[in-house]
Amino acid sequence: MMSKIIFYEERNFQGRSYECNSDCADMSSYMSKCHSCRVEKGCFMVYDRTNFMGNQYFMKRGEYSDYMSMMGMSDCIRSCRMIPMHRGSYRMKIYERENFGGQMHEMMDDCDNIMSRYSMSNCMSCNVMDGHWLMYEQPNYRGRMMYMRPGEYRNFMNMGMSNMKFMSMRRIMDSYY
């Protein structure tokens, strides 16, 4: 079975629904609002703007009968992205400044606080070599988050995250599936 998420207009899985098993850059033609969802298989990021922009929320397998209001999210999920399962090593280099400047540290596991582990007060760019990661604006995996797949990220501010500092990072492991 492939990854699968079902969005519902109303709380408790009521109202019109939309089933998705891949990336969807614009869901607005399928649903006008979303108050609950069910992830039957896999993991997804959901976004409150089209084209995978805006606030992001990580969804792993489970039922979320009133998830949108619990997270303070508006009732308009506009896009979603399937996170592929990754088996193997995880590797990411984080940099204190944009364009890979300042201090650099290579990570292969989760980090609950870059300030206490690396004495870094900020992370403004990164290079994800292996695996899929979630980066959080606060220590201990709290606050707004951003999904990072393999690639170079030279400047987080250019990605619509202008006021965010990333202070903790977590691997998206196959145990979520």
Which tens digit of pLDDT belongs to each residue from 57-93? Answer: 999 999 998 865 556 666 678 899 999 999 899 999 9
| Domains along the chain with CATH numbers | 4-83 (2.60.20.10), 91-176 (2.60.20.10)
Q: Say if residue 172's pLDDT is above 80.
A: yes
Q: Say if residue 107's pLDDT is above 80.
A: yes
Strand-pairing partners, residue 123, are none
CB contact at 8 A, 118 and 112: no
114 Cβ contact list (under 8 Å, min separation 6): 94, 105, 120, 123, 166, 167, 168, 169
Helical H segments across 39-113, by residue range = 67-70
Using DSSP bridges, classify how beta strands 36-41 and 53-59 pair: parallel, antiparallel or unpaired: unpaired
- Global pTM reads 0.88
